[in-house]
Amino acid sequence: MVSFAAPTRTHAACALTALLALGAGSCAGTRASDAGGAERAPAGTGAVRELAEGEQGFALVVGKLLTVNDNDDVFEPGMLVVRGATIDYVGPVIELPAGYERVDALECFAAPGMIDLHSHVQSGGFGDLNDMVIALNPEYRSSPTVVPGNASVRRACAGGVTTLFGIPGSGTNNGGFGVLYKTRWDASYEDCVLADPGGMKVAQAYNPERGADLGATRAGMAWNLERANKLALAANRDGRDVFALRNLQKVLARELPLLIHTAGSDACHTTISMWGERYPVRAVLSHGCFDGWRVAPYAARVGMPVNLGPRTFDWRSSMEGQIIGTPQRYEAAGAALISVNTDAPVMPQEELFLQGAMGARLGANSYTMLKACTLNPARSFGLDDRLGSLAPGKHADIVLWRGAPLDPRGRVDFVWIEGRLEYDRERDGQRF
């Protein structure tokens, strides 16, 4: 069971202290006090329009609506109106024009679909791209390994995870480029893929360390990456399109994001120094575990987003034997954007919510951990205009939870992806 600590904002704190019981009061749906001291309820956003001929729309009425938007608005009860593949309205319950289907689920929480930026289940197992011969593979892509709707993807959907960044393995320093895709059950490649390439994968510690060449040491790996960056920057400066470096050139031009597998304080420091200061790209530090939390203040100062997991704690670095919650240390340091990952199938993809729950259990703010599974990974990869929160104009990626989203005792009852019902627990059965 997660004990929810109070966030800074009054309305978010009020909402999350009531997350574990729908009948725990009417504080959700409030904001910070006005100048006069009176609390005011948040207004709905968007508008419900008449359906044109041939259009489809539906409304969800739930006991608690966790928007995870910029205002941290929570509505109790709340209504979401979906028109086609996007959200049209979020707010208090209102009258609907003719033609909309209304779904009443007052026993449920509604929350945004979760997002995992570090996943390897696109092929359905350990069959992702993971070259172990050439140290740098910036021309590789994981797109040929994608098997839409495989069993792992279906379980992810049933766990409330709607978007994944499917990436190559960490056998080399630059493993290539990953694919951003939705966890649809029955879909073609074109139907589920958001972006190909969706971003670059780099590994700077542990896994890619190798013998017989410069990759035998971390200094040698850093030299390799520096050399590749300099070649790509020179190509950008000269206006040359180098096939093997084409996507790395885009990363250095800030056109594509970068996810970096790194762990331990020494490797994390190298990562932040290289990709946050010398090459200020759209980088996200992924893993950050073991004693990587020791450089959390450095990550916060540089403003590098962090994507923590699959280990969310460290018990080796404290002389007192203390179990240290990794997300809590990054949060306390003021890290810009904290998200969590499963590194699936290292941890089951459907247990992304549990990563957030463990972060909260070990001291991080519970609302921060809810954002760590939703809005923060979207922002880290520049997807927050479409994903990560429930707001008008965004993709209708919606999860109905029976119980609080970070409570291990709860379950997912329904999942919509872009307005289409992908998972129905009663229809499809409990998947895990």
- Cα gap 430→63, rounded to integer Å: 22
- Report yes or no: 80 and 87 within 8 Å, Cβ to Cβ: yes
Q: What is the pLDDT of residue 20?
A: 41
Q: CA-CA distance, 304 to 80, in Å (whole number)?
A: 33
How many whole angstroms separate alpha carbon 84 and alpha carbon 87?
A: 8
Question: How far apart, in whole angstroms, are the C-alpha atoms of residue 157 and residue 20?
Answer: 23
What are 247's two structure tokens? 């996507």
3 state DSSP class of 48: coil
Give tens-digit pLDDT for 21-60.
333 333 334 443 344 444 567 888 998 999 998 899 999 9
Domains plus CATH for the chain? 10-112+393-428 (2.30.40.10), 114-380 (3.20.20.140)
How high is the pLDDT of residue 40?
A: 63
Q: What is the mean pLDDT of the chain?
A: 89
Tell me what the mean pLDDT of segment 186-193 comes to.
95
Any bridge partners for residue 324, and if so which? 314
**What is the structure's pLDDT at 39?**
56
79-136: per-residue pLDDT in tens?
A: 999 999 999 999 999 999 999 999 999 999 999 999 999 999 999 876 667 777 788 8
Give me 223's structure tokens. 């030299």
The single-letter code of the amino acid at 379 is R
The predicted model scores a pTM of: 0.91
**Picking from 95-109, 121-135, 185-199, 312-326, which range would have the lowest pLDDT averaged per residue?**
121-135
**Residue 334 in this model has a pLDDT that exceeds 60:** yes
